[in-house]
């Protein structure tokens, strides 16, 4: 299929950060293949993409089911043609915040199956597709991880480990794909206002007021989306393998 607009595949895109990334990429001229485990809320994102001149379609998919990744990519390509950009945004938090000495194998496996294993194998499959396709657009893989890739939280140990693993996945993919001109980047958001942080909003309101975030405010999903847009445009191609912290200086060491 001949493409006038590049195609981006964004995981976890029906709400929150993923939804804003989809809209930002539409603003930059992309069509959007959206994935999520459910459809609720996705139509609103699709309509916003269309209002910006793009096309969008939701492909219901569970990132943890790695055996379905090839079929997902085939469906996306059949719908709109070669994938130019993959944004790994989907992920889950710790099933229960608490002492790391109480983490269960089931909870550990669930978080790593989605956040790390699922993201790795989808990225692998998309990379294989990119190398085999005749896409004429700028190609990139951007993974949205977290400041928790480096900043330890003993109440969310399995989450932190999964995000730290994504940091290494980014390094490995950047080395493998650099000779082919495919940019690979990691974005580490800090405290971002999304549906997933609603339950702890009051707690973080106070912590931000007490100085947790040097910029003195919550991050917004659009802050992350704009950073993704900057990276996929190709203007920073020679910075492949880089990490971009979108956290209001939260992760800067202080004393």
Write out pLDDT tens, residues 132-150: 999 999 999 999 999 999 9
User: How much is the average pLDDT of 61-70?
Assistant: 96
Question: Any idea what the Cα angle at residue 238 is, between residues 234 and 242, rounded to 5°?
Answer: 95
Q: What are the angstrom distances between the C-alpha of 133 and each of 8, 53, 77, 90?
A: 14, 25, 10, 24
User: How much is the average pLDDT of 204-217?
Assistant: 96
Residue pLDDT, tens place only, 93-133: 998 888 999 999 999 999 999 999 999 999 999 999 999 99
For the question of residue 159 being annotated catalytic, the response is yes
Report the topology of domain 7-245: Rossmann fold (3.40.50)
Residue 1 has pLDDT above 70, yes or no: no
- Average pLDDT across the chain, whole number: 95
Q: Which of 59, 159, 185, 218 is catalytic?
A: 159
In sign, the C-alpha dihedral spanning 95, 96, 99, 103 is: negative
Coil vs helix vs strand at 58:
strand
């Amino acid at each position: 299929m001949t493409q006038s607009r590049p195609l981006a595949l964004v995981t976890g895109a029906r709400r929150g950060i993923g939804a804003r990334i989809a809209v930002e990429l539409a603003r930059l001229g992309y069509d959007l293949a959206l994935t999520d485990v459910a459809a609720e809320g996705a139509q609103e994102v699709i309509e916003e993409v269309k209002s910006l001149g793009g096309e969008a379609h939701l492909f219901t998919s569970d990132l943890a089911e790695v055996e379905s990744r090839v079929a997902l990519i085939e469906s996306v390509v059949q719908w709109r043609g070669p994938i130019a950009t993959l944004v790994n945004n989907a992920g889950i938090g710790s099933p229960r915040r608490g002492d790391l000495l109480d983490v269960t194998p089931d909870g550990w496996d669930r978080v790593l199956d989605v956040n790390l294993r699922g993201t790795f194998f989808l990225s692998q499959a998309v990379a294989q597709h990119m190398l085999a396709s005749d896409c004429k657009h700028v190609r990139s893989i951007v993974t949205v991880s977290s400041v928790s890739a480096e900043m330890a939280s003993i109440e969310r140990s399995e989450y932190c480990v999964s995000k730290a693993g994504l940091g290494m996945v980014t390094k490995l993919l950047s080395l493998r794909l650099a000779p082919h001109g495919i940019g690979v980047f990691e974005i580490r958001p800090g405290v971002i206002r999304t549906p997933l942080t609603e339950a702890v909003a009051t707690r973080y309101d106070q912590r931000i007021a007490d100085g947790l975030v040097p910029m003195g405010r919550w991050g917004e999903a659009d802050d992350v989306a704009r950073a993704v847009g900057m990276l996929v445009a190709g203007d920073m191609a020679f910075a492949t393998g880089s990490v971009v912290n979108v956290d209001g200086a939260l992760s800067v060491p202080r004393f």
